[in-house]
Structure 1
Amino acid sequence: MGWIRRVRDRIAARYLLCLMFFLGITVTFILRVNINLAIVGMVNSTSLDLTSEGTQSNSSGTCLPADGSVSTNKQVEGGTHGEFNWSEVEQSVILSSFFWGYLVFQVPGGRVAEVVGAKRVFGGAVLINGVLSLVLPFLARTHWTLLLVTRALQGLAQGVVFPALSAAVISWVPLSERARFMSFAVQGASLGTVVAMPLCGLVLNAWGWEAVFYVSGALALLWCVAWWLLVFDTPDQHPRISREEKQYLKENITQKHNEKSSWFTSLPYLGQWVFASVYGTFADTLLKRKKMSLLGVRRLSIAVSHLLPAVSLLALSLAGCNATIAVVVLTIAVSLIGAYSSGFFQSPMDIAPNFAGSLTGLMNAIGSISPIVSTPIAGAVLQNDSTTNGWRVIFWIAALMYTLCSLPYIICFKAQIQPWNNAEKAEVKSAPALIMSNVASSDAEDGEIDMMTKSKQG
């Protein structure tokens, strides 16, 4: 086994840690989005479609067969014969239940990781998700509310993923390497979303929807075994780290952490959670009292969630080395982003409620391109200049992107149901690969914000 020792000694412990975080985040996102494709096989969409069509007439505005007949015995093209007769509303609640728990543990998750250790917190989160994935089919068959609770618990556990990553980086990665480390690690979010769709599709077609959760859970447990064997909270605890690397890390990492830093890091996420809730109520009130049209509310929300953060990022680029101003401005910027849930995130339901799920998936699939492109750019900029000047360039780029992405929406969006909304829904159900996670891009963005916040403190 001497060759194993030689190979191990050639791989720096922090590089192996980065790889394990990358794979771990990949697994968590597979666990996050697997239900988005599995639900296609779980729901008896054929039954739902036939029930719906049986009550329609030629004057309903929907597309009927050429002969005008509606048969209650036919199989709708693209329909599935799953065992659950969940309505569209129930399906949407199931798909969103993950984020009930995910929002809750963002702030305390970071502090727990710093006190308990990133190894146990991150590893425990993946372990809990894996076990819950294995029992999810049984619970779903018992009652659909148990499925909601299970998904919410998975979200609760995954809420610590990016905070735990940041906590580990502080102990393991020198400031000059953090951009590359974080850029690589957080790409697991994109890879997990990309891999989940074909993987879950193959498993679904071969063994059924239950196997989607069994395979996902098994992957999580296999990763956990490697995690517990290979990863340690600090270089001092690592039994196999080389003397050279250990000395290098001691010389380049300051171990005296500011107790307030964890709370400063968490403030933007706490602010976004609170602001999103308050702003959502405000937007609903504007509509209910007819103070503003639906289109006006959507445009206002995009202005708040994109243009105001862009201005904040420009201000952040001028903060220099003033940590207090940087934390305040960053918290304001990230908090304002919370208005997106009342803006573009509602748009699919505004223009095509029959295809809201598919449009949301397509929207987020396109949005997932952002972290794939932006993180390497940030890494390249910081590799050349890791000073405040480098971060200033990144903030300028981010502000520009927020502005460019918001203006077409504000100018062109029409909050009106489109004529093609009445096309036969079977056409959408024949393309389940369009259904994607409704939060992939937001978490990858969370990972990037974590990177910026930690590096600002470093």
Structure 2
Amino acid sequence: MMTLGLMNSYSLRSGINVAILDMVDETPNNFTTDNNYLYKTECDVQNDTSQLTKQVGEFKWTINQQTLLLGCFYYGYSIMNIPGALLAKRFGIRLVLGLTGILSSALTMLMPILAYQSFYLLVIARATVGLLHGVTFPAVVTAWGIWAPPLERSRLMSITFAGGAIGVCLTFPAAGWIVSSINWESVFYITGAIGVIWSIAWLIIIHDTPAKHPRISSQERKYIESSIGIKQSAAKHAVPWKHIFTSPPVLCCFAAHLGDNWAVHSLTALGPMYLERVLEFNTKSAGILSSLPFLLCVVITVLWGMTADFILSSRFLSILTVRKISSSLPLALSSITLIAVAYVGCDALLVVILLAVCVGVLGMTASGHYTSFLEVAPIYGGVTFSISNTFNSGVGFAAPQIAGLLLIDNSLASWRNVFWLAASITLFGSIMYAIFASSQVQSWAQENDIREETENNLMVKKVDTD
């Protein structure tokens, strides 16, 4: 259900990335150098596509308005990550994910109406959906901190995180088909309706902890709780903010997360636009081709997650080595492919292959820095991840809007700047994780230390009272 939940989350956030290609007036009269966008590109000339009919949509939005609309989801999303983790700890994952899912899905279904009313109403709606979805990843990580035995974490995290890639993989081609066969409005109606169905099913089926699950066997419950070795009461202890922000193993996870997010969010938001407006694919083809990187990501995420757990259970490599292979290597490879995309020009087939490799190999990171959040601080896994996701979700709106500033025109040279920036940030994350990553529970996150600290605090209070 968590995998389906991430599929739903990414479907709601990414449908507009394809729909916008049909919503906007792409004729030369709208896209001119006056609003920082050149209609004709090198690929028009090279591929002799200059006579292709451009989409005449209802909205005359500039490129900066479009990138604002694509990125504004993350304004709300970034705000809610830390509160989302705290809400999940306080009220449980069942209510938090179920209720936010229903509200965000219903709001998505209203977006066509809001678009016709006002561009800024649509921006506010997208940001509000992001606010509601800000609880998703913190709640998921919190849940696996409670439910996932250590030797099954790589596999379970990988399968769950694959849901995001599956959501994009299915939504891009489906949205392209819906736009071409029906209309762009239906993208929002259909994805929103599916989201409502999932949310209701989640509220009916899911329970917060093994202790609360009515159908789990006592043997399985004891196995999960004993293997994790964390009392539920300990998870409610005060968050050690100072230790978190000064811990190199945690900070390097933040850096790896940044590199991962920048590459993925750049291609999720701008991939369809690059394929349709630079390489001259139609909307339906752009949707299908944009999904291929995420299809490969799904396959690699699941297969590598299973492989990583097998390696660990067989003791072929240490936990730390597996984690570094799972994050530093794919981040470095993604950086290389992004630079390559910047220089292959109008070779559409090669661009699609390189983008597929770029996103696909990042599927390995579910067994890398994402799992490290649980290993270095199991009790605070949801909190540390939510802190990272708060800062790094800013990439979701920063990457498209910075791209809008870098795209002084629609030339390959302007897009090259976008790819170089993404490659540099991704490589930085790879290097930082390779140097500072750890697989050991940090002293400030160990249950014994927490218990001793709590007892000391109680003694101090008693002395003060006496």
TM-score higher than 0.5 here? yes
When structure 1 is superposed on structure 2, of 20-29 and 362-371 the one drifting more is 362-371
TM-score, length of structure 2 as denominator length: 0.61
Instruction: State the alpha-carbon separation in 2 of the partners of residues 133 and 221 from structure 1.
Output: 10
Confirm whether residue 402 of structure 1 aligns to residue 326 of structure 2: no
Instruction: State the alpha-carbon separation in 2 of the partners of residues 54 and 190 from structure 1.
Output: 35
Quick one: structure 1 residues 152 and 408, their matched pair in 2 at CA, closer, same or farther if it must change by over 3 Å? closer
- 1:452 corresponds in structure 2 to 372
Offset of residue 27 of structure 1: 0.9
- 2:308 corresponds in structure 1 to 381
Offset of residue 154 of structure 1: 1.3
Give me the identity figure in percent. 25
- 1:162 corresponds in structure 2 to 137
Instruction: State the alpha-carbon separation in 2 of the partners of residues 38 and 265 from structure 1.
Output: 44
- 1:132 corresponds in structure 2 to 107
Deviations 1:289-344 (A, max 9, x none): xxxxxxxxxxxxxxxxxxxxxxxxxxxxxxxxxxx553344345546778879999
- 2:162 corresponds in structure 1 to 187
Instruction: State the alpha-carbon separation in 2 of the partners of residues 134 and 253 from structure 1.
Output: 41
Offset of residue 94 of structure 1: 1.0
Q: Is the 8 A contact 2:18 2:175 kept in 1?
A: yes
Instruction: State the alpha-carbon separation in 1 of the partners of residues 230 and 332 from structure 2.
Output: 39
TM-score, length of structure 1 as denominator length: 0.62
Instruction: State the alpha-carbon separation in 2 of the partners of residues 210 and 345 from structure 1.
Output: 20
Picking from 249, 254, 272, the partner of 1:326 is 249
Offset of residue 182 of structure 1: 1.1
Offset of residue 442 of structure 1: 8.4
Quick one: structure 1 residues 263 and 233, their matched pair in 2 at CA, closer, same or farther if it must change by over 3 Å? farther
Instruction: State the alpha-carbon separation in 1 of the partners of residues 81 and 203 from structure 2.
Output: 23
Q: Is the 8 A contact 1:98 1:153 kept in 2?
A: yes
**RMSD (Å), alpha carbons:** 4.8
- Where 2:278 maps in the other structure, the secondary structure is helix
Instruction: State the alpha-carbon separation in 2 of the partners of residues 446 and 178 from structure 1.
Output: 10
Offset of residue 226 of structure 1: 0.8
- 1:95 corresponds in structure 2 to 70
Q: Is the 8 A contact 1:378 1:394 kept in 2?
A: no
Picking from 21, 26, 32, the partner of 2:2 is 21
Offset of residue 198 of structure 1: 2.5
- The number of residue pairs the alignment matches comes to 352
Offset of residue 128 of structure 1: 2.2
- Where 2:28 maps in the other structure, the secondary structure is helix
Picking from 310, 313, 321, the partner of 1:392 is 321
Picking from 105, 110, 118, the partner of 2:85 is 110
Instruction: State the alpha-carbon separation in 1 of the partners of residues 182 and 276 from structure 2.
Output: 32
Offset of residue 109 of structure 1: 1.8
Picking from 49, 69, 88, the partner of 2:28 is 49
The answer for unaligned runs of 5 or more in structure 1 is 1-19, 67-74, 272-323, 422-426, 428-434
Offset of residue 49 of structure 1: 2.6
Offset of residue 457 of structure 1: 3.1
Equivalent position amino acid for 1:38 in 2: A
- 2:188 corresponds in structure 1 to 213
Confirm whether residue 144 of structure 1 aligns to residue 67 of structure 2: no
Instruction: State the alpha-carbon separation in 1 of the partners of residues 176 and 267 from structure 2.
Output: 28
Quick one: structure 1 residues 123 and 355, their matched pair in 2 at CA, closer, same or farther if it must change by over 3 Å? same
Offset of residue 22 of structure 1: 0.8
Instruction: State the alpha-carbon separation in 1 of the partners of residues 222 and 12 from structure 2.
Output: 38
Equivalent position amino acid for 2:93 in 1: A
Deviations 1:231-267 (A, max 9, x none): 0111222233334433443443434235579667996
Equivalent position amino acid for 2:91 in 1: V
When structure 1 is superposed on structure 2, of 87-96 and 367-376 the one drifting more is 367-376
- Where 1:49 maps in the other structure, the secondary structure is coil
Instruction: State the alpha-carbon separation in 1 of the partners of residues 193 and 179 from structure 2.
Output: 15
